[in-house]
């Protein structure tokens, strides 16, 4: 009875962390989860990771996508009925197609905004980006080579990445395309996202998490203190070396 009453008094409110690779999505997601008031924003709609979450909650994203969406929202929302999820730009078109194809969130002619509102009530969007695009590309190039996308202090670093200027260029281009995908999506659906930069998170992590909570209209108790992040920045002397080498190569190209 209490659960039903709580649901009626607090209808589900949803948000999406609209990410570009190496822009702090994991860091922000962990901070929001740590509040225990802002859902558990993970990659529930990633093509491979969704299978893990489906198994965890007894759902089927392949044949019953509508049930999967509703089941994930119900299973991972926090007690105040807030649900969050993280999504990369390259997953967007597929997820929209799955929402439409499921037939659970509107007719075949429903607009994207209608599909999203039906699947994720009161959806708000948070765009995660990074001002320093070259450092972002270097970070992604290193992660692709080592397959380490989250760095923790207590974990060994066994696979050493190799400087590859072509891979860095590819990562630069990928970030540009990803941001364009998000900007096109927001524009055609009349969405004004909250923009958070990686630099915001690194400069003042607690303040940035609080800014997101304010945007989501979540008021933590006065006694709440955000725990420190469990991950560390990947940037180190190797990052600086690669930055200098790549910049030098690009300068040489420009003078040819």
Mind listing the pLDDT tens digit of every residue in the chain (256 residues)? 434 434 434 568 999 999 999 999 999 999 999 999 999 999 999 999 999 999 999 999 888 999 999 999 999 999 999 999 999 999 999 999 999 999 999 998 999 999 999 999 999 999 999 999 999 999 999 999 988 877 665 555 567 899 999 999 999 999 999 999 999 999 999 999 999 999 999 999 999 999 999 999 999 988 888 988 877 677 788 999 999 999 999 998 888 7
CATH assignment at residue 102: 3.40.50.300
Pair 140, 90: CB distance under 8 Å? no
Confirm whether 162 is domain-assigned: no
Domain count, the chain: 1
Q: Structural domain of residue 28, as residue ranges?
A: 2-131+182-229
In angstroms, rounded to a whole number, what is the distance separating the alpha carbons of residues 25 and 134? Answer: 18
- Does 245 map to a domain? no
3-state helix, strand, coil in the chain (%, to 5): 55, 10, 35
pLDDT of residue 222: 86
For residue 63, being part of any structural domain is answered with: yes
Q: Does residue 146 lie within any of the structural domains?
A: no
**129, two tokens:** 């980006």
pLDDT at position 135 is 95
Q: Is residue 175 part of a domain?
A: no
| Interatomic CA distance for residues 105 and 138, integer angstroms | 40
Let me know if residue 159 belongs to a domain. no
pLDDT of residue 152: 61
pLDDT of residue 186: 98
Residue 143 falls inside a structural domain: no
pLDDT at residue 5, as a whole number: 39
pLDDT at 229: 84
pLDDT of residue 253: 86
| CA atoms of 215 and 23, how far apart (whole Å) | 19
């Amino acid at each position: 009875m209490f659960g039903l009453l709580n649901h009626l008094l607090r209808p589900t409110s949803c948000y999406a962390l609209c990410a570009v690779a190496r822009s702090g999505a994991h860091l922000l997601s962990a901070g929001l989860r740590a509040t225990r008031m802002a859902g558990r924003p993970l990659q529930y709609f990633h093509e491979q990771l969704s299978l893990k979450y489906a198994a965890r909650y007894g759902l089927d994203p392949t044949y019953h996508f509508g049930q999967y969406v509703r089941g994930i929202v119900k299973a991972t929302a926090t007690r105040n009925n807030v649900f969050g999820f993280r999504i990369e730009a390259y997953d967007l078109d597929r997820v929209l197609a799955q929402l439409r194809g499921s037939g659970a969130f509107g007719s075949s002619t429903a607009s994207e905004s209608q599909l999203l509102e039906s699947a994720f009530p009161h959806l708000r969007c948070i765009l995660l980006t990074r001002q320093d695009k070259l450092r972002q590309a270097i970070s992604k190039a290193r992660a692709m080579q080592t397959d380490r996308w989250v760095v923790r202090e207590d974990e060994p670093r066994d696979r050493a990445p190799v400087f590859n200027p072509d891979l860095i260029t590819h990562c630069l281009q990928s970030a540009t395309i990803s941001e364009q995908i998000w900007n096109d999506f927001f524009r055609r659906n009349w969405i004004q996202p909250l923009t958070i930069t990686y630099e915001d998170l690194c400069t003042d992590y607690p303040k940035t998490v609080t800014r997101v909570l304010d945007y989501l209209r979540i008021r933590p108790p006065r006694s709440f203190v955000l725990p420190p992040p469990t991950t560390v920045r990947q940037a180190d002397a190797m990052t600086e070396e690669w930055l200098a080498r790549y910049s030098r190569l690009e300068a040489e190209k420009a003078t040819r």
